[in-house]
C-alpha cells in the first residue's frame, strides 16, 4: 500500500496517508483514555488502524472498495462517538 501510494501520488500522497493514520492514532489514544465510557470505540478504531497498517505492508488495501468502505464506516462511527461525547 505504501509503495503503491508513493508511486501513484508521490510524496504528497504518502504524507497524506501517514497523516490520516496519525490522526486516527491520536484520536484512538484520546478515546482509550481513563474514565471514558466509550473506550470500546477507541479500541475498535485502533485495532482497525493496526490491521490496515500491517496488512498494507503486503497488499494495497485501499484499492478494494469493500475494505475501504468498511474502514471509512468504522472510523466514522468512532469519530462520531468522539465528537458527540467531547
Rounded to two decimals, the pTM is 0.79
Per-residue model confidence (pLDDT) at position 10: 94
Angle at which helices 39-55 and 65-85 cross, to 10°: 150
pLDDT tens-place string over residues 13-33: 999 999 999 998 988 888 887
Which one-letter DSSP state was computed for residue 64?
A: -
Using CA atoms, how far residue 16 sits from 20, 21, 40, 85, in Å, is 6, 9, 27, 27
pLDDT tens-place string over residues 43-83: 888 898 998 889 888 887 777 788 888 888 888 888 776 66
Amino acid at each position: 500500500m505504501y509503495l503503491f501510494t508513493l508511486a501513484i501520488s508521490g510524496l504528497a500522497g504518502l504524507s497524506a496517508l501517514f497523516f490520516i493514520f496519525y490522526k486516527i492514532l491520536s484520536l484512538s489514544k484520546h478515546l482509550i483514555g481513563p474514565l471514558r465510557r466509550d473506550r470500546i470505540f477507541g479500541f475498535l478504531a485502533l485495532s482497525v488502524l493496526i490491521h490496515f497498517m500491517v496488512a498494507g505492508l503486503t497488499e494495497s488495501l485501499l484499492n478494494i472498495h469493500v475494505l475501504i468502505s468498511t474502514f471509512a464506516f468504522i472510523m466514522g462511527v468512532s469519530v462520531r462517538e468522539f465528537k458527540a461525547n467531547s
